[in-house]
Structure 1
Amino acid sequence: AIKTKKYQLLESILNNNHSDISDYMKTSIKSIKKYKDYIKNTFECDYTNGLIEGINNKIKVIKRIAFGYKSFFHFKNRILISQNLLKLKAV
């Protein structure tokens, strides 16, 4: 239901009797029911913040690898170069 973005199917699966499943799965189903309005929203809207999260992760990795740049200018340029927003000039 989630892969095909069929919310009605997901809702019918959640409303079925789940007496023969483990307590862990019951907890998962309870959590899905709790957030089903948000899940429905993801079915209807294709926008995500995944791209921004990826960029933030790259910046954190650069910061971690560099052990701190002495200059914010160099740090900013390294981020722009890694995102292909700044081209290196041939010397």
Structure 2
Amino acid sequence: MEKTENWQTLYQEMARIIGAAATEELFKHFTGSQLYFPTRLLDPKKEAEMIWQERQHGVPVDVLAQSHGYSARHIRRLLKEVESEKNDDQH
């Protein structure tokens, strides 16, 4: 009988992805906690800075939008916010 066979479905799924040992470690560490996984891996402020840097190196807005999974409109908004923050920091 497989070690994970009697585990709850969520833990079985985790074990398939990261292995039984890692699942047990997460279980021990986070038992009783509710975990939330944001839909994006990158920190929003750091990603905005990355996008700004890429734009400074001439990457077109539509390419930035495609590569970061945002609309071109959202990219322009992020660029404007980063630019504004940089201007505020200089004053």
TM-score by length of 1: 0.28
Relative contact order higher in (CA < 8 Å, ≥ 6 apart): 1
Which protein shows a greater Rg?
Answer: 1
TM-score by length of 2: 0.28
